A and B are shown apart, each in its own frame.
Chain A
Amino acid sequence: MDALAALLGRVGVVASLLTALLLSAVLAANVAVLGLGYPPDTTLALFLQAAPVICLFLGNLATLIAFYGTYRILRRKDEYNVRDDLKGHAADLPGRTQGLPAQLARQLGCTGMLSATTLAASLVVTGLTLAPQPFRGLGVIAVGAGYQPARLGSTVLPTAPTPTPTPSRTPTPIPVVKFAVAPTQYTQDCNTRLQPNPQTITLDNTGSTRDVAWSVTMRESVGVSAQAPWAKPSQTQGVISAGQTAQITLTTGEVDCLVVPNNGTRDFHADFTLAGSRTVYTVTDTITGQTIIT
């Protein structure tokens, strides 16, 4: 039983100290929310509202234990002899109770005063935190889905319910590709050494809303082994940003004139294709062969 009493004594001291610590934290949180304007979230609101009640419970527990200790001393379960006290009263000898305050102080220390103080502080803080408006001066008030700091004497105006925004149908822009090459046809003449050579080709992506990757191939081959392309492009592939244009050149080899019939013409083609598309944009070069007068 004495061991239980000792354990209870320790629990009482811990409860008192815990109450004091929690109360300090609650007051600090209230200063942050009410004084410094820190926005209370759900966790902070829960702490502000629940912690004072926990303090009140712990303060009461500490008080219970402190007074149980006092009761044990008075009932001679501890060192103080209350019977001697009563005999002293009966014999009108109040001097025999002189030892009680000293004994209480020695056995309980400041536990009684500490628990009483924390209990009183807990009562005040709990009352101010949980009281209905306009008496609530600490903690927070639930307004709608959020919380706002409570202020003594102020009434909370409920905020108008926020209308639920109806999701607007935002059309997803469809990528537009409007690509063009210019010129699509030009002529060269073997009688004038194929001038102008090279020929400039403009790749037009101004009508598109996305970048395009292009490549070019020469459809016809010339040369001794028919392996060489009929024209040499300045670049065979590239990327053009949306809304931009690019220029390349096609340089025609004079060897082309060997495969163009005299007094005739022949078409040569450069095929431009875009990545992901099967459309072919063709540039045709009509070469006029040598004029032979017979």
Chain B
Amino acid sequence: MDTVLLTAVLVCGLLTFVFILNTMRKLYMRAPRTSVRTLLITTLLSALTALLSLWQLVDVLGQFKISW
């Protein structure tokens, strides 16, 4: 379970970073129409990674017997 969650976090984070670079490139290549779509995907990926990283944080804290 730990490995699956970590893999999901890392894959989502990596995808987010790739989309960030892609979005930046498109923005600075002055292609705004395409940029809006990639921007939305990047934002969604970023939100998903943030949620997964929160889950991962709870998991790590649980290993130290810290819970809410």
Contacts and interface: CB of A to CB of B under 8 A. Distances in A.
Given A61-B50, A75-B36, A101-B28, A53 B57 contact: yes
Interface stretch (A32-40, A126-134, A187-195, A214-222): A126-134
Interface in A113-127: 116, 119-120, 122-123, 126-127
Interface string A154-178: 0000000000000000000000000
Interface in A40-61: 42, 45-46, 49-50, 53-54, 56-57, 60-61
A97 B26 CA distance: 12
Contacts of B14: 123
A130 B56 contact: yes
A56 B33 contact: no
A56 B64 contact: no
Interface residues on A, range: 35 or more
Chief secondary structure at chain A's binding surface = helix
A201 interface: no
Contacts of A123: 10, 13-14, 17
Contacts of A142: 63
A67 B42 contact: yes
A142 B62 CA distance: 13
Contacts of B36: 71, 74-75, 82
Contacts of B27: 70, 100-101, 104
Nearest to B50: A60
Interface string A22-38: 00000000000000000
A10 interface: no
Contacts of B64: 42, 45-46, 49-50
Interface residues of B, number: 37
B10 to A, nearest CB: 5
A86 B46 contact: no
Contacts of B54: 57
A127 B16 contact: no
Nearest to B56: A53
Contact of A89 (B13, B21, B33, B39): B33
A68 interface: yes
B49 A56 contact: yes
Contacts of A71: 36, 39-40, 43
B62 to A, nearest CB: 11
A97 B16 CA distance: 26
Interface in B1-47: 2-3, 6, 9-10, 13-14, 16-17, 20-21, 23-24, 27-28, 30, 32-33, 35-36, 39-40, 42-43, 46-47
Contacts of A60: 13, 16, 46-47, 49-50, 53
A172 to B, nearest CB: 39
A60 B12 CA distance: 11
The list of the 4 closest CB pairs from A to B, nearest first, reads: A60-B50, A97-B30, A56-B53, A57-B53
